[in-house]
Amino acid sequence: MKKYNPYNNVLETIEAAAAMLKLPKNDYEALKYPERELKVAIPVEMDNGDVKVFEGYRVQHSSTRGPCKGGIRFHPDVEIEEVKALAAWMTFKCAVVNLPFGGAKGAVNVEPKKLSRAELRRLTRRYTAMILPLIGPEKDIPAPDINTNADIMGWIMDTYSMLKGYSVSGVVTGKPIGIGGSLGRSTATGRGVMLITSEILHRLGFPVLDTTVAIQGVGKVGGVAASLLAKKGMKVVALSDVSGGIYKAEGLNIIKVVEFIKDGGHLIDYNIEKVQHITNKELLTLKVDVLIPAAMENQINKEIANNVKAKIIVEGANGPTTTEADEILATKNIIVVPDILANSGGVIVSYFEWVQNIQSLTWDEDEVNKTLEKIIIRAFNEVWQKTNKHKATLRMGAYMVALERLGEAKRIRGIFP
C-alpha cells in the first residue's frame, strides 16, 4: 500500500479549491511549496550522563499575509512531510479566519513521556537555540501542539530571551499567564470547537440538547471541547485516548473523565463509572450525531469513512480525514466542518496573546472569549456562503475563502525581486 503522505493531501486540496475558483496558476503556485524547511540535530545530556540526539524541524510554509505562526509537536512518529502539511494547514487556517499571520510548524521526534522533566527542559532549550535564526515575534511565533504545553512555551520564551539579552514575551504563544500568556488561551481551541459545533447544528436545524457526541482525543482540544459541549447540554457518549476508548449511552461524566486524565490516567484503566471499553476504530464508527476527531491526522481513512455513522464531523485535530475519505463522506451526505475552521480557536487566541504582548497590555477573559466568538462565527458565515454559492463541501468553501485572501495578498505584494 502507498504510504500516506499528508502533504499530498494539502496539494490536492489546494488544486481542487483553485480549480473551483478558476484562480490563475500564478496566484497560488508558490503556495504548493513551503518557503523554508530547517532540520536540526538536538543533542541532550540525559540524567544518566549519556548524550542522546533527537531530530527536530521548523517549517515555514508562507509569510505572505504576515509573520509565520504554528505550534510545536513532540511525537515519536513525526517526519518532515507531516510538518510541511501542518505548516501549510496553518497558512490556510490563519487566512480563513483572517488573521494577519502566515503558517509554520515545528516538531521534535521524541516520546516525551520517556523523558524526565529536566531532560524535557534541556531538549526544549536546545531545540529553541537551534531554530533561533528563524523565530521571533515579527518572524515566526511557535505555540503548543501535541505533547507540548504552557511550561514548554515558557522555556522557549526564556531561552529566546536569554540569547537576545532582554525579555521577549511575544516570541511564543500559549505561555503561562505569569510571563505574558493570555487568559482563555488554554481553552481556546476546545471553545472554538464547541462554538462551531453549536453553529453547524443550528444551521442544519438540529437541536443542541441531548445531541450525541463522540470525541477521539482527550487532550488540550478534545478534553476542553468535551467539557464545554456537555455544559451546553450535549451528551458526550464516547471518548478515547491513545490507550483506547470508553462508551456510555446515557452520557459520560465528563468532569470525572477529564480529572482522571489530568491525574495521568489512561482511559483503558477508567472504571470510575460503568462504561463499555471500546477501541479507537469503534469510536470513530459509532452511531452518534456528531463525531469530533481531536487526536492525530489520518484517522478517518477510506476504510473508516465507509463505516462512519455520524451525521456531522467537526475536525478538532489537524488533518484527521484523508482526501479519499472526504470523497466517501461527501457521497454519504455526512457534513464535515474542516480543521482549518473548526480548530482555529487556538490560533485566534494566540493572535490575541501576541497582540497583548507587543502592546504590553492585558485583556480580561470575557473580552478574549467574546472576541474569539465574533471572529470564528464571522469566518463560519463566510465559509458557509462560499460553500453554498459553489455548491461545494465546507472544506472546499473554507479553502476557497482562504485562497482568495492569499491570492490577493500575493498579487498586491508581487514576486520579489
Kindly state the smallest distance separating residue 148's Cβ from ligand NAD, in Å.
8
CA 304 vs CA 101, 308, 347: distances in Å: 34, 6, 29
Binding residue (CB under 6 A) for ligand NAD from 95, 115, 131, 221: 221
105 is catalytic: yes
Q: Which of 61, 121, 220, 405 binds ligand NAD (CB under 6 A)?
A: 220
Number of residues that bind ligand NAD (CB under 6 A): 24
Q: Which stretch binds ligand NAD (CB under 6 A): 41-49, 61-69, 234-242, 302-310?
A: 234-242
Q: Which stretch binds ligand NAD (CB under 6 A): 28-36, 175-183, 288-296, 404-412?
A: 288-296
In DSSP notation, 321-373 reads: B-HHHHHHHHHTT-EEE-HHHHTTHHHHHHHHHHHHHHHT----HHHHHHHHH
Alpha-carbon dihedral sign for residues 167, 169, 175, 178: positive
Q: Does 294 bind ligand NAD (CB under 6 A)?
A: yes
- Out of 69, 84, 93, 105, the active site residue is 105
Report 56-75 residues binding ligand NAD (CB under 6 A): none
**158 and 129 Cβ atoms separated by less than 8 Å:** no
Per CB under 6 A, does 84 bind ligand NAD? no
Q: Which residue's beta carbon is nearest to the bound ligand NAD?
A: 219
Amino acid letter at 118?
A: A
Q: Does 268 bind ligand NAD (CB under 6 A)?
A: no
Task: Check residue 146 for interaction with ligand NAD (CB under 6 A).
Answer: yes
What is the longest distance spanned by two Cα atoms in the chain?
A: 66
Helices (H), 165-253: 188-204, 222-231
Identify the residue among 103, 112, 184, 346 touching ligand NAD (CB under 6 A): 346
| Of the residues 147, 212, 227, 356, which one makes contact with ligand NAD according to CB under 6 A | 147
Query: How far apart are alpha carbons 67 and 287 in whole angstroms?
Result: 42
Name 202's Cβ contacts closer than 8 Å, sequence gap at least 6. 208
C-alpha cell at 168: 521577549
Give 34 or 345: the residue with its C-beta nearer to ligand NAD.
Answer: 345
Residue type present at position 312: I
Q: Please, which residues have CB within 8 angstroms of residue 46's CB and are 6 or more apart in sequence?
A: 52, 119
Strands 36-45 and 51-62, sheet pairing: antiparallel
Least Å distance, CB 71 to ligand NAD, is 6
3-state helix, strand, coil in the chain (%, to 5): 50, 20, 35
Position among 124, 169, 212, 280 found at the interface with ligand NAD (CB under 6 A): 280
- Contact with ligand NAD (CB under 6 A) among 35, 119, 145, 382: 145
**Of these, 106, 184, 219, 407, which contacts ligand NAD (CB under 6 A)?**
219
Opening angle at CA 329, ends 383 and 308, nearest 5 = 125
Are the CB atoms for 178 and 217 separated by under 8 Å?
A: no
Q: Which residue has the cell 549519556?
A: 50
Closest CA to 73 of 6, 166, 17: 6
- Would you say 280 or 369 has its CB closer to ligand NAD? 280
| Stretch in the footprint of ligand NAD (CB under 6 A) among 53-61, 111-119, 131-139, 140-148 | 140-148
317 binds ligand NAD (CB under 6 A): yes
What's the closest the beta carbon of residue 283 comes to ligand NAD, in angstroms?
9
Binding-site member from 10, 85, 238, 296 for ligand NAD (CB under 6 A): 296
Contacts to ligand NAD by CB under 6 A: 144-147, 189, 216-222, 240-242, 280, 294-296, 316-318, 343, 346
Tell me the catalytic residues: 105
